[in-house]
Structure formats: C-alpha cells, structure tokens
Structure 1
Amino acid sequence: MGRGVRDTLNLIHDLAGRGVGVRNIADPIRVDSANPEDPMSQLAVVMLALFGQMERTYAIERAAHARAVAAAKGKRIGRPSVVDPKKLAYAEHLRDQEDQSISEIVKATGITRSSLYRHLPTRSPETLTADNQQNA
C-alpha cells in the first residue's frame, strides 16, 4: 500500500477520514481498518506494513549488491546499447573524414541524432581549428 510503515499508516488514516475502510481478504492475517478501535487489526496493519518495508529495503540492497558485483566483473550495467559499433565507427568516419553534417550522418547510418551526440566522441581541438588555419 505504501513504501514504508509511515506511508501505509498515513494512507489508511486518510482513507478512514473519508469514510473508507481497508480490508484484506487475501492474506490469512485479518486486516480491517473499518473498526479503528480493534487493537489486533491495528497490529496486523503495522506488522504487514513493516514486512513490506523490510522486503523493499532488502530488494534495494540485493539490487545494489548485484550491480556492484557486475561492475567489478566489468559487465555492462543496464540496458544493452542499440547502436551498432560498426555503424558508429562509420558515422565517426563520415563526420571527421568526409566532413558531413549530423543530419547527413543520420540519413546515412540510421542512427538517431540523440544517439549520435551521446556516442560519438567529441572532436579534438586540432580538428575543430583546422579549417580556421586554412582560411587565414
């Protein structure tokens, strides 16, 4: 119901203020917030919220550990790249050797503009100033 015990209790309190009760019919532990004076129901809500919070905390820790192990092994973390390295090398060649614009490179390679800017290395200062030296 919530990310933590406090969120869950706040949500149940807000719903009760609007005249809405929460009843859990799937779990063997009876939860019914329609009767706020029932101490067993209050205990069940707090316990289930606490277990949910603990599970979320442990899941975050497991994911962080898995990322650290993968990074230590040199594995790429996250979604695999959709940019073909051969196309990227060709795009770099078109930009640096044939002096084509990004729009022309997009049409020639099929790589999106944002992917080109993200993956293409920036030009070296010598490349950027070579035209300026020829015009002088």
Structure 2
Amino acid sequence: MTLYGYARVSTTDQDLSLQEVALRQAGCQVIRAEKKTGTQREGRTELELLLQFLRPGDTLVITRIDRLARSLKDLQDLVHELRVKGVSLRATEQPVDTSTAAGKAFLDMLGVFAEFETNLRRERQIEGIAAAKARGVYTGRKAKIDPEEVRRLHTEERLSPTAIARRLGIARSSVYRFLPGAGQA
C-alpha cells in the first residue's frame, strides 16, 4: 500500500507548503499539488494525473476534504472512482478514512459543509456586488479590448480582422463587434 498526497489551493498567491509538509509527515512520498479552484474538477491536471496513477491498495491522502472538492457531487464522484479502483481516501486533519464505515459517514458530512461554505461565499459575493452597484462604486472588471485600437488598426494600418485579432491576442469575433459592417458580405 502506497500513500499518495494531493495538495490544492485556489489562487496563485496562496501557499501550498503547509499542506505539503503535512502530507510528507503522513508518509506520502509522492505529492501532487496545484493552484486551481476546487469548485470544479475541470482543469485540475495534477488531480487527474494522480487519479490515473493510483492502483488497488493505494491511499490518496489530503489534508482536508475541501482540498479535494468543494461540491458534494464532485466529492462523491471522486470517492466512487477511488472505491472502484480499490483506493482509499484519508484526510490528515479530519477523521476521514474511507476504509471504515465511520470514516465514510464523516466524509459525507464534511462534503455537505464544504459545499455549504462555497454557496455562502457565493451569496455574500453577489450581495456585495449588488450593494456596490447600488452605491455606484462597482464598475466590473476593466475591458480587455480597446475598441479604439481595433478601429485604428483597421482604418490606419489597413489590417484585416484576422490580423488585428492576432496582434491583440483576441478572438476574431471580438474584432467584428467593434467594426460595424466588417463581417458582412
């Protein structure tokens, strides 16, 4: 039986070192880590690589359940995949060990709370944005595309929409939004 560790934080400015230390202390020789959101599985390449690598009798070790998944469905899907492979799941900071009945029950309860926390955070964010908009201080994120630059490149430099898109690193469809009649034959 081999112990494999998985560490995750949500943003690039967060630090993985505490999780990695805890996983090494738990006996993990191989640790995969990434800085990706836990609200979805898509794009979590290190987790996918680890899931492909695990073999029957192995144990996937995490520090806390919310490092693995923030939605109950994702958590249950992951646990099911592990079970089918004959792999158990263990958390270093929580009494979770899917090789025991009590560990499985506690896992489900923690999954519910992880999803609840994510939903509360999302609700607070929506409320905060609505309040900022009401005060007139929320303007959203800055535009990535300068419409005047698109028009200038088209009229002054005589660039095609494809060339403009390449130069600005944007989609050609975005160029057409700022060039009335450019996409019509």
Counterparts in 2 of 1:24 and 1:89: CA distance versus 1, 3 Å: same
Among candidates 67, 80, 83, match of residue 143 of structure 2? 80
SS at match of 1:22: strand
User: Is the contact made by 1:33 and 1:42 (CA closer than 8 Å) also made in structure 2?
Assistant: yes
User: Is the contact made by 2:72 and 2:112 (CA closer than 8 Å) also made in structure 1?
Assistant: yes
SS at match of 1:31: coil
Higher strand content, 1 or 2: 2
Among candidates 91, 96, 119, match of residue 24 of structure 1? 91
User: Is the contact made by 2:72 and 2:111 (CA closer than 8 Å) also made in structure 1?
Assistant: yes
Q: Which residue of 1 aligns with 2:130?
A: 68
Is it true that 1:117 corresponds to 2:171 in the alignment?
no
Q: Which residue of 1 aligns with 2:117?
A: 55
Letter in 2 for 1:51: F
CA distance in 1, matches of 2:132, 2:145: 20
Q: CA deviation at 1:19?
A: 0.9
CA distance in 1, matches of 2:150, 2:80: 56
Among candidates 83, 103, 107, match of residue 160 of structure 2? 103
CA distance in 2, matches of 1:61, 1:46: 23
Higher helix content, 1 or 2: 1
Letter in 1 for 2:97: D
Letter in 2 for 1:48: L
Counterparts in 2 of 1:70 and 1:119: CA distance versus 1, 3 Å: farther
* Number of aligned positions between the proteins: 109
Largest Rg, 1 or 2: 1
Unmatched 5+ stretches in structure 1: 124-136
Counterparts in 2 of 1:74 and 1:102: CA distance versus 1, 3 Å: farther
Among candidates 98, 103, 107, match of residue 33 of structure 1? 98
**What do the CA deviations read for 1:2-48 (whole angstroms, capped 9, x no partner)?**
342243233213312321000111x1x2111122x3x2x13321221
SS at match of 2:144: coil
Counterparts in 2 of 1:91 and 1:70: CA distance versus 1, 3 Å: farther
User: Is the contact made by 1:70 and 1:77 (CA closer than 8 Å) also made in structure 2?
Assistant: no
**What do the CA deviations read for 1:42-75 (whole angstroms, capped 9, x no partner)?**
3321221112101111222233233334444264
